[in-house]
Structure formats: C-alpha cells, structure tokens
Homo-oligomer: A and B are copies of this chain.
Amino acid sequence: MYRKEIKVLDCTVRDGGLINNHNFDLKFVREVYKAVSAAGVDYIELGYKNSKELFSPKEYGPWKFCDDEEINKVVEGIESSTKISVMADVGRVKLDDVKPASESPVDMIRVACYTKDIDKAIYMVNNFNEKGYETTINIMAISKDLGHNLDEALHQVEGESKADVIYILDSFGSLYQENIKELAKRYKKIVKTKEIGFHGHNHQQLAFSNTIEAIINNVNYVDATVYGIGRAAGNCPLELLLGFLKNPKFDIRPILDLISKELVPLREKMEWGYIIPYAISGMLNEHPKLAMALRNSKDKENYREFYDKILNAEL
C-alpha cells in the first residue's frame, strides 16, 4: 500500500509509558527517537502534557509532563525530520503552561477525550492551534458509545474545531475489521474537511489488521509502537506496519535493530502482548483495567473465573 498522504505516528514512549508511569530513562528515549527518525517515521509521541499540580513528579516520570527542556535533551544532536507530538487529556493540563509552538520543540498536540467532553477538547485544540501547533482530537472508548453522541461530537469537531485530524480509537481492542470499515466511512462522511486517524489496541491480535483496514478506507494518520509495546496487550507493531506500507521513505532496519537491542530485553522486565485476560477484555468490550489488576494478583492465570466475572459484571 502506497499513498503519499499516509502519516505514521510512533507512540512507543507515550503508550509504553502507561506501563511504567512514564519512567523511561533518557538513553532509551533517545534510542527510540534515533531509530524512528532513521526509519523515516513522520511523528513520534513522547508522553502527556499533564499539570504538575495534578500529578506528582515524585510518583511519575518525566514523560507524564513532557517539559520542553526534557524533550530538548532527547532531540539534541540527533538528525531527524520526525515531528514531535505530545498528548493532552481534557482537564489535566494548564493551558498557560503551553508556550507558543515557535518557542517549543513540540510540533503537534493530540487531545484525548470522551464524547461528553468534546466541548472542552475543542476549546483546548483551538487554543493550541492559535499557538501554532498541529492538533488532533482523539475520542476514546467509542466502542461503548456508538450512538447519537458520537455523531454529534463528530459534527462539532467538523463545525467548531481547528483540529487537523480526528482519530478513531479502539480503546478496548474490541473492534473487528468490519467495524473499522464502517467507522472510517462514518467519520469521513461527517468530518469532511479533516484527516481521519486510527489508533488500535492489540487485545485480540487485531491492531495491525484494523490499521490496514483503516488505511484501505482512506484513513491517513496511523499510530504504531515498536514491538507493539503499550498498555495491556499493546498496540499495532510499527515493524509490521512499515513492512506493509510500500512508501520508499520508510526503512524498517533501524526498527529491527532497536527491537534486538532495547525491546527484547525490556520485554523481560515489562509485560505487554498477547495475554489471555486482555484478550477476554477485548472480546467482551471492556476496559483492560480489571485485567491489569488480575495480572498483578495471585490469580493471574485463572482465566476462566475472570471470564465469568466479567461476563456477569461481578468485578
């Protein structure tokens, strides 16, 4: 598949950071940035732009806050045309903390929200847009909210926001390719003047195929992470996506190197990937937090009981 409009965003450090409270050390983050840049990936997302008044820097690592000074340490001395992205959750960022884009290493801010917060998300996005950033709106957990609220949010995004991209998110890894096809058409029908993006989760081993399905249906912004790292089952593996995309600007080799040297050893210390409680969360369309709690308990391999509890809403 080659379409020059396709943009790949690597969110290894951001989504992977959800496993370790955003505590990756500077060396690791620089290695990821170096490899992703050499691979020709369009964007890299490093973490969240959270207020230190809401979250303690003692409890969370630097990528929970993404101070410009920390990002400058990542990019220093590395040749790159990869743009820098950070994520902002509705209600967790002080807008005054965000400097104009011309004074910041950040190129893009992605605002994550639920449909109920769409007004707040649009307010934030328009503020960031005025400051010179590229922006996206990422509506989460839509697999639980596929009715009128979603259409209304999409109409507002189209009519009121200055966002460049609106993302389809499969937050629980519960969507199948037919759902992705329908959603891509639905988003495009309402949000006519913006690009559509897709961010998958791999609970049912469908993040890559759903990303392909999104691309087939004219989605141009797609997220992936190296070796599929990310919360719970993780995300679409970047190496598979680059193997699929035929755009000659991409080179898979630096990513293969990074996996050998950094991700395989890291996987020994941090858990993500195909793990049955996450698969169960996906097939039952539930948030993975209960499965994550199970994995930290003595019942971590007790799959059948977990399935019955989720099914009977006993958790």
Contacts and interface: CB of A to CB of B under 8 A. Distances in A.
A205 to B, nearest CB: 5
Interface stretch (A52-60, A65-73, A273-281): A273-281
Interface stretch (A92-100, A155-163, A256-264): A256-264
Contact of A303 (B244, B259, B274, B304): B259
Interface in A213-248: 213, 216, 227-228, 237, 239-240, 243-244
Contacts of A252: 307
A234 to B, nearest CB: 10
A256 B209 contact: no
A204 B243 contact: yes
A274 B273 contact: yes
B259 A276 contact: yes
A280 to B, nearest CB: 8
Interface in A189-215: 202, 204-210, 212-213
A315 B267 CA distance: 29
Q: Contact residue range for chain A?
A: 35 or more
A206 B213 CA distance: 12
B264 A301 contact: yes
A210 B210 CA distance: 11
Nearest to A210: B209
Nearest to A302: B260
Nearest to A178: B216
B216 A209 contact: no
Interface in A97-129: none
